[in-house]
Structure 1
Amino acid sequence: MGLWVVLAILTALAVLSVLVPLTRSRAAAAGAEASDVAVYRSQLREIDAELARGLLDPREAEAARLEIGRRLLAADRAAQAHSAAVRPLPRGLVAAVIVAVPLLSVGLYLAGGAPGYPDQPLSARLQKPVEDQDYAILIARVEEHLAANPRDGQGWEVLAPVYMRLGRFEDAARAWHNAIQFSGATAAREANFGEALVALDDGMVSETARAAFERALASEPGNAKARFFLAVAAEQDGDTAGAAAQWRALLADSPPDAPWRGAVAHRLAALEAGADATAAAPGPSAADVAAAGAMTAEERARMISDMVAGLAARLAEDGRDLDGWLRLARAYVVLGTPDKARDALASARRNYPDDAEAGARIEAAERELGLGS
């Protein structure tokens, strides 16, 4: 409400600034004409006084009277004409206009405008769903701003996630790089920069991306995104044991409702199932690797299920493999069958009835996988 009062006062002042000069100009004109009439009448009185004192010849006095009288009549006619044709604005009318114009303006805006519409900052608009936004216009405006202000690190940071959502990974990587350069390095910015580079390289963790994740961890040792992708890098380097250890550590450190737990558990289950299948059978050929890379998501899920089934069959024959039972339980959780995961851990207990260390590991796995009763 305070804003509307201020706007009404400003409007009233604007109207007043227009009306007052008009009123003053009319009054000044009328005053000037009345003053001329008074001057001429005063001159007539002075002529009569000088004639009485003998200072003025009668003929000269008569001629002066005629000239001043002519001017007096002309000035009087002009004053009367002006009074009849142009009159000052009444004060009541001026006051009414000053009050009515702001009230009418505010009323029309309240009726047809949107005074209650909330602010729409750029960051909030860019977080809306794609279907609710004209992203082309928004992005063009931000890009135009950044073209004129290339050192605006905050602007680059706002734009980078939008590029990622639209699949413009090269632009996203450049935007995060600029955000780091102009706003300073933080763990989140470094991790997001590395993620954009990984997306740009079709899932491969390059040396540049690895360095970004390492800088993120140096700044924030618990950064989940950096830990996730460094585990991916270890897996890509062939260090499956190191990758699995990093997956487990990340799961152990993550809260139960962490959004990345599912992805981590899925990668760990696939890694462990694949490692167990490799130990029980000859290694995959180059053709097998190429075929796996070309699989759809459903085909890869089916392949993982087959690996899990092979692991379960082997453990059914020889249950003295605690790591195998733990891998099997994780794989079942990833596949969405927690009951089978509980059965796997129960089988592990039966195979290690008197082993306190094994029991502690089984209990830790239950807590990690959320399988406790």
Structure 2
Amino acid sequence: MNGWVILALLAALLGAGLWVVIRPARMVSELIAAAVLVALAGYAWQGSPMLAGKPTGPRDNRPAPANLFGDERGKWLEQVGVDAQALDAADGLIRSGDPAYAIGILRAALEHRPKSATLWIGLGNAISLYADGLVTPPARYAFQHASQLAPQSPAPAYFLGLSLAQSGDLDGAEQSWRGLLAKAPADAAWRSDVEQKLAAIDRARSLR
């Protein structure tokens, strides 16, 4: 089989797999289709689609980055709706080791919903994972912009702290979480989660 046939089969398998797993809404389906078309165009431009496919030798596979955001977002963000489905699609790509495509899906979603704090938080996470876990200026901007869009929500500051902790910046994570606690109501349901994270930072420092 030549490269076009192989690529078409892979695209079909990807679309079918995502449909079975998350059954995306129409807008999210269009975003996924757009991402696949971008990949096809990139292959046509830089690849060799007319060459016959053949097995290659073993190679070092880059492991998928740890995605604490994907593990914890259910406690902080809505799990239903178009934004949640876009995050589901991005999470699936991140877990398969493709954070760049996750960024593309989230940016496309933001073109339709630029004031969605949820999507901006997801974008900050995806950018950080694309940078091998580092909270780069674009990632920090995405988290901070989410905070501006939803100033009463604890999620932007929480997930900024989570990304900073994941990158090894314990001081930055502590600053973000302590600032969040300072503004939180005494009876906030999520207060104990943040306090546990701060206690974990203290334990990590004691082991240094």
* TM-score normalised by L of structure 1: 0.30
Q: Which of the pair has more CA radius of gyration?
A: 1
Q: Report which structure shows greater RCO (CA 8 Å, sep ≥6).
A: 2
* TM-score normalised by L of structure 2: 0.49
